[in-house]
Structure 1
């Protein structure tokens, strides 16, 4: 920039005695945000091609589940969890077979959480009474499974449980698989189903503190029998 250009720019500014402040020109409110900065970087990246569909980040980060479960589900969405197929490709595991079902099938994320015979039994126990259970579980990826998880056409406690259910099931299946590998814990479908129900109850208690409202509802009994209260209404 030449001196004349600098003087022209300065002459166009009116100075006063007020305190100076920073403004972020990439946002309408002139305030910095990580999102706006990220978008600026993408716009200046010549090789970047914007996705046709935006990534459904709200599906995970706005879910009413604990933060560690959000991180897990986000990693699962992004294909970052270390299933045995990935460990095998990195020469960390001696085989890439699913230890949960032991059916000589490669352990991918899709297999472990949806196609595995053990996981299938878990899902059958949870939502098998619904007429569209087969459609719900026939997803091409775990991401699509969560994205297409249907809404329950009812209001109240049952709706909250239904929204949390898939996250709790994925969380328990993953942790049960890890205990099987590192602690040789036996595979017990009934125990996994009960752990999922317990997890839903624990997450609800953390987020909404429903224990304090027992005078209006017997929530403990409700949670134990919640599967039968969710009906095929969507």
Structure 2
């Protein structure tokens, strides 16, 4: 993992995407790409200095200070300027730096979970995907979670007449009512 917290497959980090975008801009400044804004940066901020060593001054624009800040974070993580430049130079495809490649480099190592294809399959509805993903992460607002948060005072499964406390595992695997529903669906689909 190069950056941030551990994530699971299927998630997107806006902060890492922002970092990748800033690093791509810094790389364009480094290679002195023939773009008007890069020429302006070289004329106003760099003045024959290196993008990897220049420091932001008090009167510099907010955007320039943010770019310098984004430069400094991955420098510490990758172990220096040469390592960062080497990593960024591998993100080219067809002579263009690919933002998605930079994002992938700085995304944390994801562990493929066994339920990945079930949740993020091609023909699923987004609403269903989200609920299934919450269930897999044990983040559904079942009564046991609501009780821990102080939102309710009692925990009893309403489907099986209060015979047990309501939790994700109970609702999906132990509840007599939901078991009957699943068995009926499996019979209808002719599944064993």
TM-score by length of 2: 0.46
TM-score by length of 1: 0.38
